[in-house]
């Protein structure tokens, strides 16, 4: 059995680092809708890669990073219209993906596997990419911890301290987009958002410092993934939805406990 699930456990470990840092930042910066938009928009990158026959990881990384920059500009320039514009990017990305897919016969099922992902099927090259992105995330959070925290609290004040808050925000969205690419194989476009935000939402309630919120999110994410993998393995059901259902039940319990 270990042989069959070992790579999914490694993937869970690597993903939990991204969930800890990026998931928590998504929640405290209220960028859930933006993340959903980049995640779904990434389908455009996948379609493009299949059409061109180029590397999915590389093409999708570039494509989603571009979406992240566009979304950063939109949210900074048009804060009052951002919710509608975020929805537009969401749809445009998916449409691009579907158009390229219809131009590329024979790859439909390939593309669909990215919608729901399968953590039991991750390959070594996926693990390597996850490791690289984790490293980028860890280095970023070590140096930018205080800036990210100040950005989440009061962006105007950060500007006052002479720090380019808009650039920092754009960088954060690019990191988000790379995190999405690293998770797509394992988790799938549709459920990435849930896996990244639920642990952080629970952790936020029980912590006083952002640092502990990150640690708790990562641990929760890991527990959800590993238990989801085991359950889906034994009952032969799809892993990602299992993980999301487990996480949602715990979220619900944590909300009830508060009352």
Partner 1 sequence: MKAIEVKNLYFKYEKEWVLEDINFELEDKEFMAIIGPNGGGKTTLLKLLLGFLSPTKGEIKIYGKPPKENREIIGYVPQHTNFSLDLPITVFDIVLQGRLKKGKFFYSQKDKEKAKEILDTLNIYNLANKKIKDLSGGQRQKVLIARALVSEPKILMMDEPTSAIDPSGQKEILDLIESFEVTRLVVSHDIKILLRDVDKIAYIHKKAVIHEGPKLNIPKDKHFCEVELIEFLKDESCGI
Nearer to partner 1, 163 or 246 (CB): 163
Contact residue for partner 1 among 149, 231, 245, 246 (CB under 8 A) = 149
Phi-psi bin for 237: left (phi > 0), alpha (psi -120 to 50), beta? beta
Segment interacting with partner 1, rule: CB under 8 A, options 73-81, 152-160, 191-199, 230-238: 152-160
Distance CA 254, CA 204 (A): 11
Alpha carbon distance 97, 189 (integer Å)? 12
Single out the residue of 80, 161, 257, 258 in contact with partner 1 (rule: CB under 8 A). Answer: 161
Residue 220 near partner 1 by CB under 8 A: no
Answer for which of 210, 221, 242, 251 binds partner 1 (CB under 8 A) is 210
Applying CB under 8 A, among 5, 28, 34, 178 the residue interacting with partner 1 is: 28
Nearer to partner 1, 114 or 172 (CB): 172
* Closest C-alpha to 31, from 139, 152, 142: 152
3 state SS for the chain: CHHHHHHHHHHHHHHHHHHHHHHHHHHHCCCHHHHHHHHHHHHHHHHHHHHHCCCHHHHHHHHHHHHHHHHHHHHHHCHHHHHHHHHHHHHHHHHHHHHHHHCCCCCHHHHHHHHHCCHHHCCHHHHHHHHHHHHHHHHHHHHHHHHHHHHHHCHHHHHHCCCCHHHHHHHHHHHHHHHHHHHHHHHCCCCHHHHHHHHHHHHHHHCCCHHHHHHHHHHHHHHHHHHHHHHHHHHCCCHHHHHHHHHHHHHHHHHHHHC
Given candidates 62, 150, 168, 246, which one binds partner 1 under the rule CB under 8 A? 150
Q: Which of 112, 123, 128, 153 binds partner 1 (CB under 8 A)?
A: 153
**Which of 208, 257, 258, 259 contacts partner 1 by CB under 8 A?**
208
137 lies in the binding site for partner 1 (CB under 8 A): no
Which of 194, 213, 220, 251 forms a contact with partner 1 (CB under 8 A)? Answer: 213
Query: Shortest gap between Cβ of 109 and partner 1 (angstroms)?
Result: 42
Q: Which stretch binds partner 1 (CB under 8 A): 8-16, 35-43, 153-161, 244-252?
A: 153-161
CB of 158 to partner 1, least distance (A): 7
Regarding 185 and contact with partner 1 (CB under 8 A), the answer is no
Q: Work out which of 204, 215, 219, 245 binds partner 1, going by CB under 8 A.
A: 204
Interface residue list for partner 1 (CB under 8 A): 28, 30, 143-144, 146-147, 149-150, 152-154, 156-163, 204, 207-210, 212-213
């Amino acid at each position: 059995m270990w042989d069959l699930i070992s790579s999914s456990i490694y993937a869970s470990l690597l993903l939990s680092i991204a969930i800890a840092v990026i998931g928590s930042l998504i929640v405290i910066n209220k960028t859930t809708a933006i993340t959903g938009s980049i995640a779904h928009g990434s389908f455009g990158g996948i379609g493009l890669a299949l059409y061109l026959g180029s590397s999915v990881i590389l093409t999708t990384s570039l494509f989603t990073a571009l979406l992240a920059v566009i979304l950063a500009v939109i949210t900074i320039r048009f804060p009052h219209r951002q919710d509608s514009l975020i929805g537009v990017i969401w749809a445009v990305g998916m449409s691009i993906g579907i158009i390229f897919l219809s131009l590329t016969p024979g790859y439909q099922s390939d593309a669909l596997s990215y919608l729901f992902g399968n953590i039991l099927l991750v390959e070594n090259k996926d693990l390597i990419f996850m490791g690289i992105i984790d490293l980028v995330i860890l280095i970023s959070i070590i140096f930018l911890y205080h800036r990210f925290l100040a950005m989440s609290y009061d962006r105007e004040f950060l500007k006052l301290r002479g720090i380019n808050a808009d650039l920092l925000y754009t960088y954060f969205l690019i990191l988000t987009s790379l995190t999405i690419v690293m998770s797509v194989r394992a988790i799938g476009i549709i459920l990435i958002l849930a896996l990244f935000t639920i642990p952080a939402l629970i952790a936020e309630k029980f912590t006083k410092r952002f640092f502990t919120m990150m640690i708790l999110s990562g641990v929760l994410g890991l527990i959800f993934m590993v238990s989801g993998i085991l359950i889906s393995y034994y009952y032969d059901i799809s892993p990602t939805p299992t993980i999301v259902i487990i996480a949602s039940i715990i979220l619900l319990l944590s909300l009830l406990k508060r009352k």
